[in-house]
Structure 1
Amino acid sequence: MYQSSGWLDFCHADQPGRVGAVYTGSPARPEAGVPVTAVRSMGNSFYRWDELLTSRGLPSPGPRGLMTGQHWGYHTQVLHHPALTLDEAAAALLPELRRQADAPVTRELAGIEDRDPVPCMAMYLDDRTVAAFRRAGVTAPPVLLQLEAWIPVPDGGWEGYLDSLGYKRSVRVRRDRRRFEEAGYRVEQLTLDECCEEAGHLLACTQRRYGHAADAKAFAASFEDQARAMRGRTEVFLARTAEGRPVGFCLYYVWGDSLYLRAAGFDYEALTGAAEYFNVVYYLPLQQASGRGVRRMHAGIEAYEAKALRGGRLNALWLLDLSERSVLAGRDEEVAAANAQTLRTLVGESRTVAGALADPALAELL
């Protein structure tokens, strides 16, 4: 979904002229492709590779260059024709990405002088994609950025999901659902273009709750851009009080066999303490997914314990320097130590989060 033309159109509206793609094959029959972004400055701090590396005590090539990936979504995939393996796609794309990094248009967009090397940084890759690029010849070790949660949607619909949680967790979920239903909220299922202003207001409420500056009108305008770019693919649960006051929303996309949670916001002053967040963001989408052939829900980064308690499995997301002469090459031990520290910070003291790590090799870093 985050590599779709609609999503890249949305990213392009935010960074005009800087978002595109590198592909192999012909325009009529592309064989492999991946989004790219020419970076001069980055508004989204989660994508500022320079700060992310230096905060881990690792060397950085500087803040400008060519980024493999788009600057919203925190999930970058290589797309390829079914006749190709992921390894073959990565091997074909790697030299093209390096050539694009050194191209005059990239230098101009990123503001890098002709004599200086242009970094080629891939952001938010999963384990399989990292391994494919490494087998293709990337020498730099991967740097752990975040964990992402995928919640399986088992057979049996909603009841099948509850059974998969085990007794104690399913009791908690049932209690949360009952409290929400008894609170008397009215839930509407809408498209984003029908509720941009309300979604912008609710997202601003959440941002302010956590101490961030927030402009409701700017959020609403961004949602309008997203609704226009995604061409009717947006879906929203909007919860109101009995009097009609909007109190919470969740924006999501159904794409293939996956449901992607994208954004959520709540007017916390209007809530009654009826597990509104968990109902609107997790339970309602999961109930929706079970009847539409969806096999898993992408719950994204952060809030790991809440997601793990609701069946989420946690996978690593990595930064990988694809540059031919990476500043990270040969620093495997330093990077491994930084990755272990990052994972310990992300997991904290939570046994629930540690137990939800999908990769046993990742758990060994703890």
Structure 2
Amino acid sequence: MTGHRRPYPVPRKDQWPAAQQHDPTALVRYALVHDEGRLVAAAPLYVVDTEPNDLYRVHEVVPGQEPGRVVLAGSRRGYVNAPLLHPRLAPPRRGEALGRLVAAARSLAEAGRARPWWLYVTDAAAAELADACGAAPVRLNEEARIPLPGGSFEDYLAGLPRARRTCVRRERRAFAEAGYELRTLRLSECADEAGALAAQLQARHHHPVDPGFMAALLREQAEGMAGTGVVHAAYAEGRMAAFSLFSLHAGAVWLRSTGYDYDRLRGAHLPIEYAYAHGATAVHLGMESLRAKTLRGGVTSALWAVAGGVPPGPAQTVTGPAPSSVG
């Protein structure tokens, strides 16, 4: 078993939106709220006519909705979403700033005869948005997070029930005995291989996607994220058998994509040692396969949709400069 190690830059907060803004399936605008010259709130707003990702098709994930143009507020591809609000805003000013973001999403939706939605928002964000939008949240899914107590992998294991500790050790032993060559790579170095395995995973979860499309999507992410995404990959006989793509942000490791060759993969491997080595206190594992994640120590929290409330009508073309500003 061998490995390749190198330092990686920490992602800036603006790099994920930058990685998404050139997606040809949506037109992006930005709502910015200023208070006496200081930026206090922001939200990307995506005007979407055609959504290739079925988990972001509102009419497929929210009961009772019809197909049509939508404005997606906040993150469009991250599956964990919340309005960007300055952490030191006092409650009244926070509510006012959030109201400005909601109004901007409604205004853009009204101009394009679309319906605004905030998708996959966290519990706390859903409660605030429900007040600001005047709409009850709709539960969409759950996100899994593994808390990391102490400072080592053994501390993580100690927090698991005895039977689960045995299973995790067995999985890691099988992974080690398979003799994989382990590599730590930049996404730009392996996007095509990773895309092919990510497509296999999507198909396994009943979300069929073309491997070429997945590879192109990962290449776009690599460019937009300026090389800050980290890929841990296992190779067998010179071919990638599994990978995980993640970023280190806000004291946690965020898993962005995974993929497996199910005919060749043995055992399991999560980036927990990497997280401890970089001082992270949690690993966010995203949605899907929640039982498998909870068995490895994951705890789940709900993700919600909140409607903005503008009724659809005849579609109009939305134009204007890319950054929009309110307040």
Residue 132 (structure 1) aligned to one of 128, 134, 146? 128
Contact 1:66/1:119 (CA < 8 Å) preserved in 2? yes
Shift of 1:21: 2.6
Distance 1:142 1:122 in 2: 10
Shift of 1:78: 1.8
Alignment-derived partner of residue 146 in structure 1: 141
Shift of 1:2: 11
Distance 2:288 2:18 in 1: 26
Contact 1:61/1:119 (CA < 8 Å) preserved in 2? no
Alignment-derived partner of residue 154 in structure 2: 159
Contact 2:40/2:97 (CA < 8 Å) preserved in 1? no
Shift of 1:208: 4.6
1:240 paired to 2:249: no
Residue 259 (structure 2) aligned to one of 237, 248, 265? 265
Shift of 1:100: 4.2
What are the Cα deviations for residues 129-168 of structure 1, in whole angstroms up to 9, with x where unaligned? Answer: 11122344x3221100001111101113100000011211
Change (3 A) 1:85 1:47: farther
Contact 1:23/1:93 (CA < 8 Å) preserved in 2? no
Contact 2:74/2:83 (CA < 8 Å) preserved in 1? no
Shift of 1:213: 4.3
1:323 paired to 2:306: no
Mapping of residues 51-70 of structure 1, within 5 Å = 51-53=60-62, 56=63, 58=64, 60=65, 63-70=68-75
What are the Cα deviations for residues 155-195 of structure 1, in whole angstroms up to 9, with x where unaligned? Answer: 13100000011211111111111111111111101110111
Alignment-derived partner of residue 175 in structure 1: 170
SS state of the match for residue 93, structure 1? helix
1:206 paired to 2:217: no
Contact 2:253/2:284 (CA < 8 Å) preserved in 1? yes
Alignment-derived partner of residue 44 in structure 1: 53
Residue 92 (structure 1) aligned to one of 83, 97, 119? 97
Contact 1:65/1:101 (CA < 8 Å) preserved in 2? no
Residue 295 (structure 1) aligned to one of 276, 281, 299? 281
Residue 119 (structure 1) aligned to one of 112, 115, 118? 115
Change (3 A) 1:95 1:207: closer
Alignment-derived partner of residue 304 in structure 1: 290
Change (3 A) 1:208 1:75: closer
Distance 2:11 2:28 in 1: 13
Code of the aligned partner of 1:247: A
Code of the aligned partner of 1:129: A
Contact 1:86/1:129 (CA < 8 Å) preserved in 2? no
Distance 1:3 1:140 in 2: 33
Distance 1:2 1:68 in 2: 22
Q: Which moved more, 1:3-12 or 1:306-315?
A: 3-12
**Does 1 or 2 have the higher relative contact order (CA < 8 Å, sep 6+)?**
2
What are the Cα deviations for residues 26-56 of structure 1, in whole angstroms up to 9, with x where unaligned? Answer: 6962101222211223221111222323xx3
Please state which structure has a larger fraction of its residues in helix.
Answer: 1
Code of the aligned partner of 2:148: V
TM-score for both structures, normalised by structure 1 = 0.75
What is the alpha-carbon root mean square deviation over aligned residues? 2.7
Shift of 1:96: 4.0
Counting matched residue pairs gives 303
Please state which structure has a larger fraction of its residues in strand.
Answer: 2
Alignment-derived partner of residue 23 in structure 2: 14
Structure 2: gaps of 5 or more residues: 1-9, 313-327
Alignment-derived partner of residue 335 in structure 1: none
Change (3 A) 1:41 1:122: same
Code of the aligned partner of 1:49: V
Contact 1:23/1:34 (CA < 8 Å) preserved in 2? yes
Distance 1:306 1:70 in 2: 26
Residue 34 (structure 2) aligned to one of 19, 25, 32? 25
Alignment-derived partner of residue 227 in structure 1: 222
Q: Which moved more, 1:139-148 or 1:214-223?
A: 214-223
Change (3 A) 1:303 1:46: same
Mapping of residues 265-284 of structure 1, within 5 Å = 265-271=259-265, 274-275=266-267, 278-279=268-269, 282=270
1:255 paired to 2:249: yes
Q: Which moved more, 1:85-94 or 1:223-232?
A: 85-94
Shift of 1:318: 0.5
Contact 2:182/2:234 (CA < 8 Å) preserved in 1? yes
Shift of 1:86: 6.7
Shift of 1:256: 2.0
Shift of 1:294: 0.4
Shift of 1:211: 6.0
Distance 2:116 2:42 in 1: 15
Contact 1:91/1:133 (CA < 8 Å) preserved in 2? no
Structure 1: gaps of 5 or more residues: 113-117, 327-366
